[in-house]
Structure 1
Amino acid sequence: MITGSMVALVTPMHADGGVDWDGLTRVVDFHLREGTDSIVAVGTTGESATLDVTEHCQVISRVVQQVAGRIPVIAGTGANSTHEALQLTEEAKGLGVDACLLVTPYYNKPTQEGMYQHFKYIAERVDIPQILYNVPGRTSVDLLPETVERLADIDTIAGIKEATGDIDRARRLIASCGSKMAIYSGDDPTAVELILAGGQGNISVTANVAPARMAELCRLALAGETDAARRLNEALMPLHTNLFIESNPIPVKWAMQQMALIEGGIRLPLTPLAEGAHDAVRDAMKRCGLL
Structure 2
Amino acid sequence: MRLDVTERGVFPIAPTPFHPDGGIDLDSIDRLTDFYGQVGATGLTVLGVMGEAPKLDHAEALDVAKRFIARAGRLPVIVGVSAPGFAAMGSLARSAMDAGAAGVMIAPPNTLRTDDQIAAYYRQASEAIGADVPFVIQDYPLNFTVVMTPAVIRRIVSENPACVMLKHEDWPGLEKISALRGFEADGSMRPIAILCGNGGLFLDFECERGADGAMTGYAFPDMLVDVVRLSTSGERDAAHDLFDAHLPLLRYEQQPGIGLAVRKYVMARRGLIASDAQRKPAGAMGGKAIAEVEYLLARLARHDPRAAVPAL
| Equivalent residue number for residue 11 of structure 2 | 6
Give me the TM-score of the superposition, normalised by structure 1: 0.92
- Spell out, residue by residue over 1:72-112, the C-alpha distance to the aligned partner (whole angstroms, 9 max, x if none): 21111122323322322222211111121111223x34543
Alignment partner of 1:155 out of 161, 170, 179? 161
Structure 1 residues 218-237: aligned runs within 5 Å: 218-237=228-247
| Equivalent residue number for residue 197 of structure 1 | 209
Matched, 1:88 2:99: no
Give the stretch that moved more between structures: 9-18 or 231-240. Answer: 231-240
**Count of residue correspondences:** 287
Matched, 1:176 2:183: yes
Root-mean-square deviation over aligned CA pairs:
1.8
Once residues 50 and 296 of structure 2 are traced to their aligned partners in structure 1, the CA distance between those partners, rounded to angstroms, is 19
Counterpart of 1:288 in 2: which secondary structure?
helix
Task: Check the 8 A contact 1:132/1:159 in 2, yes or no.
Answer: yes
Opposite residue 174 of structure 2, the aligned amino acid is I
| TM-fit CA distance, 1:280 | 2.7
| Equivalent residue number for residue 45 of structure 1 | 50
Structure index of larger Rg: 2
| Equivalent residue number for residue 3 of structure 2 | none
Opposite residue 299 of structure 2, the aligned amino acid is R
Once residues 52 and 237 of structure 2 are traced to their aligned partners in structure 1, the CA distance between those partners, rounded to angstroms, is 35
Once residues 298 and 42 of structure 2 are traced to their aligned partners in structure 1, the CA distance between those partners, rounded to angstroms, is 25
Task: Check the 8 A contact 1:105/1:115 in 2, yes or no.
Answer: no
Structure 1 segments unaligned to the other structure (5+ residues): none
Once residues 99 and 40 of structure 1 are traced to their aligned partners in structure 2, the CA distance between those partners, rounded to angstroms, is 9
Matched, 1:251 2:262: yes
Alignment partner of 2:78 out of 74, 80, 83? 74
Structure 1 residues 104-183: aligned runs within 5 Å: 104-106=108-110, 108-124=111-127, 125-153=130-158, 154-165=160-171, 166-177=173-184, 179-183=190-194
Once residues 23 and 112 of structure 2 are traced to their aligned partners in structure 1, the CA distance between those partners, rounded to angstroms, is 31
- Spell out, residue by residue over 1:29-55, the C-alpha distance to the aligned partner (whole angstroms, 9 max, x if none): 121222222111111121112111111
Counterpart of 2:246 in 1: which secondary structure?
helix
Task: Check the 8 A contact 2:177/2:210 in 1, yes or no.
Answer: no
| TM-fit CA distance, 1:65 | 0.6
Once residues 92 and 214 of structure 2 are traced to their aligned partners in structure 1, the CA distance between those partners, rounded to angstroms, is 23
Once residues 93 and 233 of structure 2 are traced to their aligned partners in structure 1, the CA distance between those partners, rounded to angstroms, is 33
User: Percent identical across equivalent pairs?
Assistant: 23
- The runs of at least 4 aligned residues of structure 1 exceeding 6 Å deviation read none
Opposite residue 247 of structure 2, the aligned amino acid is M
Counterpart of 2:56 in 1: which secondary structure?
coil
